[in-house]
Amino acid sequence: MNSVWTEGVIFPQFKELEGNVRTDVLIIGGGITGILCAYFLRERGIPYILAEGRTICSQTTKNTTAKITSQHGLIYQKLLKSEGVEKTRMYLDANQNAVKKYFELCGKADCDFEEKTNYVYTLDDRRKLEKELDALGRVGFDAVFSETKELPFKTAGAVGFAGQAQFNPLKFILQILPQLNIYEHSFVRELAPNTAVTDKAHITYKKAVFATHFPIDNKHGMYFLKMYQHRSYVLAAKNAGQVNGMYVDEAKKGMSFRNYGELLLIGGGSHRTGKKGGDWQELRGFARRYYPSAQEKYYWATQDCMTLDNIPYIGRYSKGLPNCYVATGYNKWGMTSSMAAAMLLADMLEEKENPYEPVFNPSRSMMKPQLLCNGGEAALNLLTPTKKRCPHLGCALKWNPAERSWDCPCHGSRFDADGGVIDNPATGDLKG
């Protein structure tokens, strides 16, 4: 089970961090967010260390569908209602700036970068599209209504964003790695004020960035209540047709499409981590129905942190950790959000004002309906009797037969059949 992005991409190996070291900024996590943060800090001449617990880009980053867009579902009508015009425009501008930055950086990189129009379609509710177009007009963005003649099934239309893009994320990262100060196999085991400890190193830092997908500190920020995790699945098939744009259903359990060369990438089968879902069987059934000549070449799964209000948490970790920063909760839009996060955090680390801080502030109000769902799920699983318990906060684990893993419905930690940790926030293996 490998994604198409790993084909032919070989990263350099980085040594393990050892001894007593000091740095201005410690970046914890070597996915695309951490690497982009390191890239921007190096550009600005700010001393830093990036510590990755395994190897870089070995988790979520390599399992994306790699769409670069500021169109994150039919989100703008929701943001306009909950956040108002100013913050909705902030969110759009921050992500559009991230798209533009990819155009700038990828223009110098061999990473299969292609400009595309992104489409969010609906199967049966055209009114949703009309409301979204109205919301976008109110914040000054020129989107268009479109039919979806490239898709093999009928829809009620789509909203299109021109000037978006797709690429191979691992090829892109390979291009920006030279001269970055990265250490692998350097898992941060303990955290104290301005101090981090790995198996072989003691790191003293002035500031720290948590770029670990799900934050690994449970004592501050209430992230274990502010987020849950969602799994989704991808097939890459040959002889399955071409789409000139990038497509995603506005429904949470809908499907997405994009091409990579001669392959069609079909995404879907999603579910909350630890719950039942369609997984690859749903995608294979779809391919048999609509693309009977398709030949499956790759398949993989990914996991996303979902926030209370559809907006990532980017900025200061919490009031209790004044020198720490976080980037998490990308709500399935990791490529654009990681760039927006790295650009914002680089400014904050340089103590430079960034106009988008307010909309992404991790300490914003938690009073959202999803909070009750997250709390109820945690309470239910804490009271569920089972031998397999998650070492993160003690929730009952559920067996995932499709991926042969033990999954936590509370916060999304995952473990292989032998108990080895796969996905955080858990930081250790199962015991016993």
Single out the residue of 304, 420, 325, 333 nearest to residue 54, CA to CA. Answer: 420
- Does the 4-65+171-225+310-360 domain belong in CATH 3.50.50.60? yes
Q: What is the pLDDT of residue 432?
A: 64
The residue type at 186: S
For residues 66 and 5, the answer to whether their CB atoms sit within 8 Å is yes
Superfamily name and number for 113-166+227-306:
D-Amino Acid Oxidase, subunit A, domain 2 (3.30.9.10)
Residues 6 or more apart whose CB falls under 8 angstroms from that of 136 comprise 76, 92, 142, 143, 159
For every residue of the chain, which 3-state class applies, written as one string? CCCHHHCCCCCCCCCCCCEEEEEEEEEECCCHHHHHHHHHHHHHCCCEEEECCCCCCCCHHHHCCCEECCCCCCCHHHHHHHHHHHHHHHHHHHHHHHHHHHHHHHCCCCCCCEEEEEEEECCCCHHHHHHHHHHHHHCCCCCEEECCCCCCCCCCCEEEEEEEEECCHHHHHHHHCCCCCEECCCCCCEEECCEEECCCEEEEEEEEEECCCCCCCCCCCCHHHHEEEEEEEEEEEECCCCCCCEEEECCCCCCEEEEECCEEEEEEEEEECCCCCCHHHHHHHHHHHHCCCCEEEEEEEEEEEEECCCCCEEEEEECCEEEEEEEECCCCCHHHHHHHHHHHHHHHHCCCCCCCHHHHCCCCCCCCHHHHHHHHHHHHHHCCCCCCECCCCCCECEEECCCCEEECCCCCCEEECCCCEEECCCCCCCCC
| Domain ranges within the chain, ordered by starting residue | 4-65+171-225+310-360, 113-166+227-306, 369-423
| pLDDT of res. 378 | 79
Joined together, the tokens standing for residue 196 give 């981090």
Q: What is the pLDDT of residue 388?
A: 84
With b meaning 16 or more CB within 10 Å and e meaning fewer, what string describes 368-398?
bebbeebeebbeebeeeeeeebbbbbebbbb
Model pLDDT, residue 361: 98
pLDDT of residue 1: 73
What is the distance between the alpha carbons of residues 276 and 13, in angstroms, rounded to a whole number? 37
Give the separation between CA 290 and CA 301, rounded to whole angstroms: 21
For the CA atoms of 315, 63, 422, 27, what is the dihedral angle to 10 degrees?
-30
For residue 51, CA distances in Å to 19, 259, 347, 424 come to: 13, 34, 21, 16
Burial-class residue 1 by CB neighbours within 10 Å (0-12, 13-18, 19+): exposed
- Token couple for 349: 């680390």
d(CA 347, CA 88) in angstroms, rounded, equals 21
pLDDT in tens, the chain (432 residues): 789 999 999 999 999 999 999 999 999 999 999 999 999 999 999 999 999 999 999 989 999 999 999 999 999 999 999 999 999 999 999 999 999 999 999 998 999 999 999 999 999 999 999 999 999 999 999 999 999 999 999 999 999 999 999 999 999 999 999 999 999 999 999 988 899 999 999 999 999 999 999 998 888 999 999 999 999 999 999 999 899 999 999 998 899 999 999 999 999 999 999 888 889 999 999 999 999 999 999 999 999 999 999 999 999 999 999 899 999 999 999 999 999 999 999 999 999 999 999 999 999 989 888 988 888 887 877 777 777 899 898 889 999 998 999 999 888 899 998 888 888 898 889 886
CB 116 within 8 A of CB 71: no
Q: Which fold has domain 369-423?
A: Rieske Iron-sulfur Protein (2.102.10)
Could you give the CA distance from residue 260 to residue 242 in angstroms, rounded to a whole number?
Answer: 9
pLDDT of residue 381: 76
Q: Specify the amino acid at residue 66.
A: A
Query: 313-334 burial, b for 16+ CB within 10 Å, e for fewer?
Result: bbbbbbeebeebbbbbbbbbbb
Angle between helices 76-106 and 126-138 (to 10 degrees): 70
Q: How far from the centroid of its chain's Cα atoms is residue 312's Cα?
A: 9
Residue 210 in contact with residue 28, Cβ under 8 Å? yes
Distance CA 408, CA 178 (A): 37
